[in-house]
Amino acid sequence: MQLAREGYPFVAGGLLVAIFVQLVAGGVLAFICWLIALFMLQFFRDPVREIPNDTGAIVSPADGKVVTVRQATDPISGKKVTNIAIFLNIFSVHSTRIPISGEVLQRIYRQGKFLNAAVDKSSQENERNSIVIRTHDAKEVTCIQIAGLIARRILCYVTEGQSVQCGEKYGFIRFGSRVELFLPQEYRVTVNVGDKVRGGADIIGFTA
């Protein structure tokens, strides 16, 4: 199993505690500690993904369930766009990935609440980190990592001016969250509410 680098301290700590409790006390307490260690292993898994090479493909920025596909206003540019929201539960892979190749124009962090990420108002009120990507066809795509009820830490590794490639990992959200994508209206969306998607691997739309 491949682990995300963000999980090494948590997994190592969980295993060490479980081993210590097993040796010292054993019993139910040790069993609970082993369960926690196993949870850390599954939460921080980061499987290798085969990135689609279809011309004009837009890939899912995260693993999870599509909870919104609608016409909306981009919260950064103010333009009319198509909004796709993906909810990640605690059992989802929590690496976030670049949906489309281009250049990072902006990176904006905003503090906020920690509401349940499954509800729509979390996208306006929760803590979040936004990146705006200028694509190779000179369009702008906004991707937002949103903290959830349990998630308290958003990690983002790209910087303004950086070139990014479709499907590459750019961040991580710890313990339950939401990712929202805002696409130009002329882009064609190929997912519906209720669909389950894999970050970096599943196509959710095309540029033409």
Same domain for 72 and 28? no
Mean pLDDT score of the chain: 88
Answer whether residue 51 is part of any domain.
no
Checking if the pLDDT of 162 tops 70, the result is yes
Answer whether residue 155 is part of any domain.
yes
Answer whether residue 64 is part of any domain.
yes
Same domain for 65 and 31? no
Name 82's Cβ contacts closer than 8 Å, sequence gap at least 6. Answer: 69, 70, 71, 72, 182, 183, 184, 185, 187, 189
Instruction: Count structural domains, the chain.
Output: 2
Residue at 53: amino acid letter: N
Question: Looking at residues 159-185, what average pLDDT do you find?
Answer: 90
Distance CA 30, CA 14 (A): 11
Answer whether residue 48 is part of any domain.
no
Same domain for 116 and 29? no
Distance CA 97, CA 179 (A): 10
Same domain for 97 and 194? yes
Same domain for 131 and 36? no
Answer whether residue 52 is part of any domain.
no
Residue 177 bears catalytic tag:
yes
Q: Evaluate whether 167 touches 49 at the Cβ level (below 8 Å).
A: yes
Give the total residue count for the chain.
Answer: 208
Same domain for 201 and 118? yes
- pLDDT-based confidence at residue 39 (cuts at 50, 70, 90): confident
Same domain for 193 and 92? yes
Distance CA 170, CA 164 (A): 9
Same domain for 170 and 91? yes
Same domain for 102 and 190? yes
Q: Evaluate whether 199 touches 172 at the Cβ level (below 8 Å).
A: no
Residue tagged active-site, from 92, 123, 130, 177: 177
Distance CA 150, CA 127 (A): 12
Same domain for 179 and 138? yes
Same domain for 85 and 35? no
Task: Please give the pLDDT value at position 90.
Answer: 81
Same domain for 91 and 12? no
- pLDDT-based confidence at residue 205 (cuts at 50, 70, 90): very high
With b meaning 16 or more CB within 10 Å and e meaning fewer, what string describes 121-159?
A: ebbeebbbbbbbbebeeebbbbbbbbbbbebeebbbebe
CATH number of the domain that residue 157 is part of? 2.70.70
DSSP, res 10 = H
Task: Please give the pLDDT value at position 4.
Answer: 79
Q: What is the pLDDT of residues 46-92, one digit of tens each?
A: 888 899 988 899 999 999 999 999 999 999 999 999 999 999 888 88
- pLDDT-based confidence at residue 144 (cuts at 50, 70, 90): very high
Determine the structural domain holding residue 33 and report its residue range.
Answer: 5-43
Within 10 Å of residue 115's Cβ, how many Cβ atoms? 20
Prediction pTM value? 0.83
